[in-house]
Amino acid sequence: MAEWADALNGDAAAFASIFDRHKARVFRHAVYQLGHREDAEDATAAAFLELWRRRKHVTVLDGSVLPWLLVTTTNLSRNVGRSRRRYGDLLKRLPRGRDAPDDTEEIVQSRIDAQRQIRDLVPAFDRLSEQDRSLLVLIVFEDLPIATAALALGMTAPTARSRLHRMRARLRHQLESSSEVR
Amino acid sequence: MMKNLGEIDPVFANALRRELIEHVNARKRRRWLAPWLASVSAVVIVAGGGVATAAVLGLPGAPTLMPASEKVSVTGTGTATAELGSAPVDANYVTVRFECLTPGDFEISGVRVSCHEADVAQQSVFDIPSNYVREDQLEVLAGPGSSWQLTATYVVKSPTEWGRNIHGETFGVINDAGSPDLIAVEATNGKQGYVRAVDLNQANGDPTALNFTSPDDALRWQQEVAGTIVTLPVVESDGETRIGEFVIQR
């Protein structure tokens, strides 16, 4: 919390250490969302740049900006084109390590293995509202407690619970109807 | 170089880290670069640090400006951002015409404008280097009740040379190449002339002229001299013929 306050006051070192602490998790989250290493790097960069640009409006939960970063990464991953337009020059300027192995599939696979049902969810997942998607991602993919995920998205815990309930019902229905079509 | 599964590329991460630090510092640096601009009230036409006013165009060292985008006009109260649209490839500056509609202190992407009662509705014109314009936005910082209006256009700015008088002194406007020995100003009697850079830098609290070593020094200095007035002689480009006075309110 103190670190974020320092960063808000223009302490670059404090902001850098927030980056150090959360970069791995934000990156993995982006890889999972995008399934591609370079896109995920761009989304990670955009998320931290947005953290600074929108610093006055960032929600801090339990002293952490991580939930906000994850929600933002989810949204940015939905539209990588938009972040590229905003931060295109900067992203192009950032050097990439050579010989980067394309381990994307392995990354995605390892996470899918851990959360097997997600693969089934994906076709229906795209049809959810942005807020519902964010909620699901934070709870299912990122293992945040419902109350924290709810706060990160600016809703109360009971609202989040009822949304989840409705989502489950809707997803089940959509999955059933899509298998009927097939 | 091998990477661990699902780990962010360290080369990319380090570069991004530096970039983020740069972003945070950019705000501070703009404040640090700007202190002596702070003393330039809306009616004074000193140009400097890449900031030129319309009144200096045509003078030696003044750049030529070519508009490169449509004009954007924004009116606001309090802090707000003005979206400029994406920058044309060859544009290197954004020309901003800023008008305070109420008295108050304003900061436009690092350039501060102080408006007293008498400055209201006076236009300040300055050029902000486009690499200072983050994400195609100009940020206007202002108190909750302070109203303002600005128009902004991306421009292509090309430099011109300073003049040189018989004493070998350069004269013209401050530009990206630095400061000439004699800086173009408008005297209180309305005549166009020059003040000595040495005098102006001292009076304006230029960090180098006053040997400031930190932004704190500059701020302390600003507090000390706040409200004082300095009168400097205005001369012709020969550096000798006195034609008027230049007054700086601090």
Q: In this predicted structure, what is the pLDDT of residue A76?
A: 81
Supply B148's token pair.
């303002």
pLDDT in tens, A27-75: 888 877 777 788 888 999 999 999 998 887 787 777 788 888 888 887 7
Report pTM: 0.43
Q: Quick one: closest CA in B to A27, which residue?
A: B8
Q: In this predicted structure, what is the pLDDT of residue A119?
A: 46
Residues B103, B120: contact at Cβ < 8 Å? Answer: yes
Q: In this predicted structure, what is the pLDDT of residue A120?
A: 56
Cβ <8 Å between A53 and B24: no
Q: In this predicted structure, what is the pLDDT of residue B235?
A: 94
Q: In this predicted structure, what is the pLDDT of residue B27?
A: 61
Count how many residues are written for chain B: 250
Contacts B135 to A, Cβ<8 Å: 53, 86-87
Q: Which of B6, B21, B23 lies nearest to residue A49, judging by beta carbons?
A: B23
Contacts A113 to B, Cβ<8 Å: none
Cβ <8 Å between B19 and A94: yes
Residue B17 forms contact with A (CB below 8 Å)? yes
Is the complex ipTM higher than 0.85?
no
CA B31 to chain A, closest CA, distance in angstroms equals 11
Q: In this predicted structure, what is the pLDDT of residue B154?
A: 92
> Which residues of chain B register pLDDT less than 70?
1-6, 27-58, 176, 205-212, 214-215, 219, 249
pLDDT in tens, A122-176: 556 666 777 787 787 777 767 778 877 787 677 778 888 888 888 777 766 665 6
User: What string of H, E and C letters represents the secondary structure of chain A?
Assistant: CHHHHHHHCCCHHHHHHHHHHHHHHHHHHHHHHHCCHHHHHHHHHHHHHHHHHCHHHCCCECCECHHHHHHHHHHHHHCHHHHHHHHHHHHHHCCCCCCCCCCHHHHHHHHHHHCCHHHHHHHHHCCCCHHHHHHHHHHHHCCCCHHHHHHHCCCCHHHHHHHHHHHHHHHHHHHHHHHHHC
Nearest Cα to B94, choosing from B67, B117, B60?
B67
Q: Which of A16, A31, A110 lies nearest to residue B20, judging by beta carbons?
A: A16
Cβ-based contacts under 8 A for chains A and B: 87
Q: Quick one: closest CA in B to A32, which residue?
A: B6
Q: In this predicted structure, what is the pLDDT of residue B107?
A: 85
Q: What does the alpha-carbon distance between residue B203 and residue B215 come to, in Å, rounded to a whole number?
A: 17
Cβ <8 Å between B24 and A11: yes
